[in-house]
């Protein structure tokens, strides 16, 4: 067989039957050079093959990531869905739980807030869990400490009011601004400030951070929806589709 025909046959074998492997090192130098020429000519004439290969690789990587995420969620289910301290809203008996890791200084968290609430309210059968994950500096940490301390001192309803206010706060949070916020909401600012540096608040924030590291979460917002990890902002329609898929899979 001529070098060109050998190369063409090898190329056909490689492109038509990828499950069958061949070793290019078994070729002679002339056969190898001919093979490379044939491959180049084939790709120049059929550039869509490159895009198809990239799409196939991305699909394979996405499937592998989804499987790995599902295993991580299963291994950490109690800490994710029922840790005993994170605020829980929506329908407490909902068939789907949506968990959000959020940061008050995160622009995409603020953007997602209204859409998450629309999702929960319009669906009626979603349990929502908020996890304080301050990763954007001291202002984020101060805000989360204030929110968690409020929950410890005044309960879930007060936490949600503070959460909403912190998400809407345009200026940088400081003690003066937080004291004003507490007073506006009729809360005991002194008690909340005293609680902010407590071991309970510190341990909760450390626990959430450790969980995020275990789940390989390094940005906000990140959602757990059913058995899927959703890293980053998604639209309301996308969230609804993910929830629908989770219900169908369940």
- Name which of 25-39, 90-104, 122-136, 207-221 the model is least confident about: 25-39
pLDDT category, 23, cuts 50, 70, 90? low
Q: Give pLDDT tens digits for 57-106.
A: 777 766 666 677 889 999 999 999 999 999 999 999 999 999 999 999 99
pLDDT at position 8 over 50: no
Write out the H or E segment, with its range, that includes residue 228. strand 228-231
pLDDT at position 21 over 60: no
Q: Give CATH superfamily name and number for 79-249.
A: Glutaredoxin (3.40.30.10)
% of the chain beyond a pLDDT of 90: 69
- What are the residue ranges spanned by the domains of the chain? 3-74, 79-249
pLDDT at position 10 over 90: no
Q: Is 108 exposed, middle or buried (0-12, 13-18, 19+ CB in 10 A)?
A: middle
Q: How far is CA 29 from CA 34, 36, 248, in A?
A: 9, 11, 55
Q: What is the pLDDT of residue 1?
A: 47
The DSSP call for residue 99 is E
pLDDT category, 238, cuts 50, 70, 90? very high
- Name which of 37-51, 81-95, 179-193, 197-211 the model is least confident about: 37-51
Residue 20 and residue 43: Cα distance in Å, rounded?
20
Q: What ranges in the chain are assigned the alpha helix state H? A: 3-16, 29-45, 48-75, 77-81, 107-123, 138-154, 156-168, 175-184, 189-196, 199-214, 236-249
Closest CA to 173 of 196, 155, 202: 196
pLDDT at position 220 over 90: yes
Tell me the longest C-alpha to C-alpha distance in the chain: 89
> Strand, coil or helix: what is 18?
coil
């Amino acid at each position: 067989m001529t070098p060109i025909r050998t190369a063409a046959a090898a190329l056909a074998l490689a492109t038509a039957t990828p499950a069958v492997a061949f070793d290019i090192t078994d070729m002679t130098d002339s056969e190898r050079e001919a093979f490379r020429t044939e491959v180049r000519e084939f790709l120049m004439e059929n550039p869509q093959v490159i895009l198809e290969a990239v799409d196939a690789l991305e699909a394979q990587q996405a499937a592998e990531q989804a499987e790995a995420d599902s295993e991580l969620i299963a291994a950490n289910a109690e800490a994710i869905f029922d840790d005993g301290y994170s605020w829980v809203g929506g329908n407490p008996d909902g068939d789907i739980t949506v968990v959000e890791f959020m940061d008050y200084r995160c622009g995409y968290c603020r953007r997602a807030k209204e859409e998450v609430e629309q999702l929960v309210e319009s669906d009626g059968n979603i349990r929502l869990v908020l996890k304080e994950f301050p990763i954007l500096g001291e202002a984020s940490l101060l805000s989360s400490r204030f929110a968690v301390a409020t929950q410890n001192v005044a309960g879930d309803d007060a936490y949600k009011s503070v959460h909403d206010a912190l998400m809407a706060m345009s200026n940088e949070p400081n003690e003066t601004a937080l004291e004003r916020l507490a007073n506006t909401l009729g809360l005991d600012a002194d008690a909340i400030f005293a609680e902010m540096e407590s071991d309970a608040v510190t341990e909760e924030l450390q626990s959430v951070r450790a969980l995020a590291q275990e789940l390989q979460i390094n940005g906000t917002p990140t959602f757990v929806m059913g058995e899927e990890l959703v890293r980053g902002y998604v639209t309301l329609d996308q969230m609804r589709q993910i929830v629908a898929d989770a219900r169908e899979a369940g």
